[in-house]
Amino acid sequence: MYDKNKIVAGLVIFIAIVTFPFWYNLGNASSAPEPKLSEKAKVAKECVMPKESIKSEHMQVLDLWRDTVVRDANRIYKSGSGKTFNMSLSTGEESCMGCHESKAEFCDKCHNYASVNPYCWDCHIAPKEKPKENK
């Protein structure tokens, strides 16, 4: 085999770079955060879908909603249990953020952990964060 040493050295460097994220974060693992529900959301008890479905499918729901609202002009959503919602991320009392009042506590907690940065907030205006109460 020609250039055996070069190839082996190259392979070692390659593997080191590829596995960088794993050994860099070694020992730093933190548990997945839970989004914190606002008082309003706790009182409301139910959302547009069961909690588990929301957890796994909220991106698709939002994607579908935006098409429904913008393109079909249907803005009212009646859930399985008969409750109605305003199909909007950030406008009005019955929108997502109307109930989940804090982007930092509700959205960002998981998004930051999962290192995703959806561009919702480039356009949609997030509700003002209330100053944190000292407990």
Partner 1 sequence: MENSRRSFLKVAGITALGVGTKPVLNVFASSGGHVEEPKPEVSKNEKALTAKKWGMVIDTRKFHSAEDLEPIIDACHKIHNIPELPEPRHKIMWLWEDEYKHVFTHREHELVNDRIKHLPFLVLCNHCEKPACVRACPTKATFKRDDGIVLMDFHRCIGCRFCMAACPYGSRSFNFRDPRPFIKEENKEFPTRMKGVVEKCNFCAERLAVGKLPACVEASNGAITVGDLDDPESEVRELLRTNYTIRRKPDLGAGPSVYYIV
- Binding residues for partner 1 (CB under 8 A): 48-49, 53, 57, 59-61, 63-64, 66-68, 70-82, 87, 90-92, 115-119, 122-125, 127
Among residues 110, 46, 30, 53, the alpha carbon closest in space to that of 83 is found at: 46
**In terms of CB distance, is 9 or 84 closer to partner 1?**
84
**In terms of CB distance, is 37 or 87 closer to partner 1?**
87
Measured distance CA(118)–CA(28) in Å, rounded: 25
The alpha carbons of the chain give a radius of gyration, in whole angstroms, of 22
Least Cβ distance, residue 81 to partner 1 (angstroms): 8
Least Cβ distance, residue 58 to partner 1 (angstroms): 10
**In terms of CB distance, is 11 or 55 closer to partner 1?**
55
Name, in order, each residue with C-beta under 8 angstroms of 95's C-beta and a sequence gap of 6 or more.
Answer: 85, 86, 87, 88, 89
- 39-58 burial, b for 16+ CB within 10 Å, e for fewer? eebeeeeebbbeeeeeeeeb
Least Cβ distance, residue 5 to partner 1 (angstroms): 35
Least Cβ distance, residue 7 to partner 1 (angstroms): 30
